[in-house]
Amino acid sequence: MTYRNPVVPGFYPDPSAIRVGDTYYLVNSSFNYFPGVPLFESHDLVNWTQIGHVLTRPSQLPLKGAGTGGGIYAPTLRYNDGRFYMVTTNVSFGGNFYVYTDDIHGEWSDPIAVEQGGIDPSLYFEDGHAYFMSNGDDDEGNHGITQCEIDIATGKKLTPSKVIWTGAGGRYLEGPHLYKVDGSYYLLASEGGTEYGHMMVYARGDNPFGPFTNYAGNPVLTNRNLGGYQIQGTGHADLVDDGHGHWFLIHLAFRQLDRWIQHHTLGRETYLTPVQFGADGWFTAGDHGTTRAVMSAPGLENVVQKPRLLPLSFHNTAIGREWVTLREPDSARYCFDQDVLALRPNQYGLEEREVSPTALFMRQRAFFSTVRVTVDVTANAAGLAAYMTEDLHYDAIVERVEDQVKVARRLRVGPATTTDHVHVLPAGPVTLILETTNYQYHFYAEADGERFDLGEADAHYLSSENAGNFTGVMLGLFTEQTDEPDADWIKFSDFAIEYPKEEDVE
């Protein structure tokens, strides 16, 4: 059987995966979006279903003032003695912490802080001991992959923090994970930066604290030399087995706008690459050390890959699952009944950097899609956005002006904001349409049977290369106060996302 990458398309970066029995679980970074740390489930490693988020309460996820480069960085998911643990870093508030649950489909605990600093934390359990590692400085000021033993009940350090590995020689050593396979300890990490030089490296030792010997073939996985190939930035992996001797790397990569244009808009996505252990105990990965769009792997012969993207509407999406907010929301301003979404605007717009505007966002998961929503604005303004950051977003906006509505396109690119393609229409519902491709975002409006072209804008301006961030484009339904602070709710209806084709990667 062959399968197509990415297995989880869209802005789902820094994956960490485990197997418990015959079920796999996966978590991803979420940065300044609430709730945090998307949680997925699978029975075959290829087909994944989101079952919620890990961090669902403000007590777990303070985000005030967290910008697009803040909030929740790379999480690690682990399972020990009947309990699930998720450890991560809130780079805006508090640093490293973990939460736990005995029911993966239920609520998770409040955070338990860990005394060790750094980012990209991980846990390793063995014989009643809990080891915590991160990339940062140890107690003597040495920099590298740093580890200590902790009391898993309290997060307190039981041993000093010690650098156990300094990597294979690349820059930006990060994302460490420790495993024990056939009596040997494997330390896996990323180097090169989470960009075009990204790569996976590893080392092996006989003790959880080393010393570790580098794999002679490092990097074990990278697409950094695949010129003219759409999948780039391969790295930040977790190693998982199927219980039958087959091993895989769950890792991130991104898709350029095409095979030659070095811009990506969808963010870093989740990919699956097979691993092969040799008789000498060292492993190799992928297609000669690379990740490809179409792959096959032992252990997946009987797996049938389902469509990765299905049409979406208000009926099969939910706030807190597909729909998220920027930072912690004022929940009293949201009402969702599966037919109509009602939002009550506050004084904050999409340029807000401290708190949460009244807006909902969903990840753009494909280059090619059509998004539709009908907006009924009785006061103030609302619209449909392709949002990358506070400084980079394209909007179609409907504003109530007395007994009329003004429909326009608004482009925010850095310090420049333009509003054009303005149409003044009789008051009433307006349907906003966004057609996306790998090159363009094209807005339209429909009212009273007439269609208005609001113009197109280049996709590459919303890329991570321009934004300098780690997220991807989000599709947003937003509101803005333009006149009445305590006006009626704004209603959104007939929301739909359709995907015209299963996208092929070149």
Per-residue pLDDT of the chain (506 residues; tens, 9 = 90+): 799 999 999 999 999 999 999 999 999 999 999 999 999 999 999 999 999 999 999 999 999 999 989 999 999 999 999 999 999 999 999 999 999 999 999 999 999 999 999 999 999 999 999 999 999 999 999 999 999 999 999 999 999 999 999 999 999 999 999 999 999 999 999 999 999 999 999 999 999 999 999 999 999 999 999 999 999 999 999 999 999 999 999 999 999 999 999 999 999 999 999 999 999 999 999 999 999 999 999 999 999 999 999 999 999 999 999 999 999 999 999 999 878 999 999 999 999 999 999 999 999 999 999 999 999 999 999 999 999 999 999 999 999 999 999 999 999 999 999 999 999 999 999 999 999 999 999 999 999 999 999 999 999 999 999 999 999 999 999 999 998 787 789 999 999 999 987 665 55
CATH match of 312-498 with 1.20.120.450? no
Q: Of 71, 162, 191, which is closest to residue 470 (Cα–Cα)? A: 71
Q: How far is CA 7 from CA 55, 252, 254, 273, 438, in A?
A: 23, 10, 12, 10, 19
Boundaries of every domain in the chain: 2-296, 312-498
Question: For residues 249 and 270, what is the distance between their CA atoms, to the nearest angstrom?
Answer: 10
Q: Do domains 2-296 and 312-498 have the same CATH topology?
A: no
| Catalytic-labelled residue, pool 120, 174, 269, 391 | 174
Quick check: 2 and 50 in contact, CB under 8 A?
A: no
Query: How big, in percent rounded to 5, are the helix, strand and coil portions of the chain?
Result: 5, 50, 45
CATH match of 2-296 with 2.115.10.20? yes
What's phi and psi for 254, nearest 5 deg? -140, 160
174 part of the active site: yes
287 part of the active site: no
